[in-house]
Structure 1
Amino acid sequence: MPGVGVRTGARILLEVGDASSFATPGHLAAYAGLAPVMRRSGTSIRGEHPSRSGNKNLKRAFFLAAFAALKDPASRAYNDRKRAEGKRHNAALICLARRRCDVLYAMLRDGTTYQSGRPVTPIAA
């Protein structure tokens, strides 16, 4: 996956494992602190905000990997699209990190490797 080096990949795999303990990609994103949260108090609902909870090491690894992936044309296009929607730099990077978290979950679930823009093929066991 572009932007994920040896140290970042090791950190992510150390924290996530084989992803079998997460039912959906949303559960993994919430564990990593990449899923938005809604602040509520009684009848007051304040919209979605970045999560301040979650696994800090995993969130940092995904954030740094997303930042490094801006050299990849597909990641850059996604980031530029989020910026055009009015998101600031860090918010767009968090969106990219969440997307990459979902892709990583699918790769671990299906046992496939990352292939940019091509159909994924299973890894022979």
Structure 2
Amino acid sequence: MSRDSGRRTGNHHRPKRYHRRLRHVFYMAAQTAMMRPGPSRDYYPKKRAEGLIHTQALLALARRRVDVLWAMLRDKRHFTPTPPATQSA
């Protein structure tokens, strides 16, 4: 989408809400994780079964990996393939 004033053409606005290189890293990590057995590989076909095309399912996997990483940092936990048991009240 061009956001120019009319005097200049092709002045494309670059989004500032995300880091392009970091986004690319998570995309490549999701692509690699999709090929190896584990929870990421199980998540990808689930998304495809929901009707998403390959790139949409891959981006969903990348977002999920970001969410998992954020939760690990927030809770100061190590990664385990199975989710931790929740404490009942």
TM-score (norm 1): 0.51
| Whole-angstrom CA distance in 1 between matches of 2:26 and 2:58 | 9
Structure ranking higher on relative contact order (CA contacts 8 Å, 6+ apart): 1
Q: Which residue of 1 aligns with 2:10?
A: none
The reply to whether residue 98 of structure 1 matches residue 68 of structure 2 is no
Kindly report structure 1 stretches of 4+ aligned residues shifted beyond 6 Å: none
* Structure 1 position 85, deviation (Å): 1.0
CA-to-aligned-CA distance 1:31-87 (integer Å, 9 cap, x gap): xxxxxxxxxxxxxxxxxxxxx842101100111111111113311111001111111
| Whole-angstrom CA distance in 1 between matches of 2:31 and 2:81 | 17
Report sequence identity in percent.
45
CA-to-aligned-CA distance 1:81-109 (integer Å, 9 cap, x gap): 11111111111000000001000001111
Q: Which residue of 1 aligns with 2:44?
A: 79
User: What amino acid does structure 2 have at the position aligned with 1:56?
Assistant: R
* Structure 1 position 116, deviation (Å): 0.4
Give the aligned length: 69
Q: Which residue of 1 aligns with 2:9?
A: none
C-alpha spacing 1:81/1:118, structure 2 compared with 1 (3 Å): closer
User: What amino acid does structure 2 have at the position aligned with 1:96?
Assistant: L
C-alpha spacing 1:86/1:118, structure 2 compared with 1 (3 Å): closer
Gap regions ≥5 residues in structure 1:
1-51, 121-125
TM-score (norm 2): 0.70
* More displaced stretch, 99-108 vs 64-73: 64-73
Gap regions ≥5 residues in structure 2:
1-13
User: What amino acid does structure 2 have at the position aligned with 1:57?
Assistant: R
User: What amino acid does structure 1 have at the position aligned with 2:61?
Assistant: L
